[in-house]
């Protein structure tokens, strides 16, 4: 298991959030499990109401956890969004912010959201088929989140921020490699 702290973009501080951590661990079938753990003051964040698990667009306009995955040295990548509501989104890109219309539909993740007195956790499980297939090069991961404060303002969190404005799609922010997350030997990485 790999644990890492996400940091708020300097342009979007969130003083009522004390920490946002992600834990990534490989699944036996080559998939990936993620746990986002947010520690914040009670009532500090707006959280989407629970809904039926389904694909939905523009989840990033509210509190939402995100994963980006691409093959090292290749322009193509995938984006996965996980909402506390139980909704999700999965996108394929052929290049920086260029949607790949020919990409196959991606398999729905499993999401479990659990609020507690000091914040919340969001668990997401991706099947191996949702991840890009690497024949050469490692799979690089970017982990991020958008947090909506009680006043409606947004803060942008990531393992690394590369430019003056928040931008999770930049490959410089894909700082983890699946090999660093101890991928099982049966999965190509």
What confidence score (pLDDT) does residue 48 get? 94
Residue 148 domain-assigned (yes or no)? yes
Which residues are CB-contacts of 171 (< 8 A; sequence separation ≥ 6)? 70, 77, 96, 140, 142
pLDDT of the residue at 133: 82
Domain that holds residue 11: 2-181
pLDDT at 137: 72
Rounded to two decimals, the pTM is: 0.91
Angstrom distance (rounded) from CA 182 to CA 12? 32
What DSSP assignment string belongs to 49-63?
PP--S-B-S-GGGSS
In a domain, 188, yes or no: no
The pLDDT of residue 179 is 62
Classify residue 186: in a domain, yes or no: no
Look at the chain and report how many structural domains it folds into. Answer: 1
Q: How far apart are CA 55 and CA 89, in angstroms?
A: 5
Domain contains 121: yes
Q: Is the residue at 173 inside a domain?
A: yes
In a domain, 55, yes or no: yes
pLDDT of residue 57: 94
**Nearest residue to 68 via CA among 44, 107, 96, 87:** 96
Which CATH number is 52's domain given? 2.60.40.1190
SS3 95: strand
Question: pLDDT tens string for the chain (189 positions)?
Answer: 899 999 999 999 998 999 999 999 988 888 899 999 999 988 899 999 999 999 999 999 999 999 999 999 999 999 999 999 999 999 999 999 999 987 777 778 899 999 998 999 999 999 988 888 876 678 999 999 999 999 999 999 999 999 999 999 999 999 998 765 443 333 332
C-alpha–C-alpha distance, residues 145 and 63, integer Å: 7
């Amino acid at each position: 298991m790999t644990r890492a702290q996400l940091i708020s973009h300097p342009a979007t501080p969130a003083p009522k959030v004390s920490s946002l951590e992600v834990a990534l661990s490989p699944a036996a079938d080559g998939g990936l499990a993620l746990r986002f753990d947010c520690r914040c003051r009670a009532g500090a964040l707006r959280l989407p109401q629970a809904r039926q698990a389904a694909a939905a667009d523009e989840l990033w306009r509210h509190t939402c956890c995100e994963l980006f995955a691409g093959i090292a040295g290749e322009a193509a990548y995938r984006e996965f969004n996980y909402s506390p509501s139980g909704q999700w989104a999965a996108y394929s890109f052929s290049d920086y912010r260029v949607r790949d219309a020919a990409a196959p539909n991606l398999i729905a993740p499993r999401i479990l959201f659990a609020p507690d007195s000091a914040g919340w956790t969001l668990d997401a499980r991706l099947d191996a088929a949702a991840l890009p297939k690497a024949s050469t090069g490692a799979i690089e991961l970017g982990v991020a989140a958008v947090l909506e404060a009680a006043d409606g303002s947004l803060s942008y969190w990531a393992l690394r921020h590369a430019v003056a404005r928040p931008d999770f799609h930049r490959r410089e922010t894909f700082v983890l490699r699946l090999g660093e997350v101890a991928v099982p030997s049966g999965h190509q990485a």
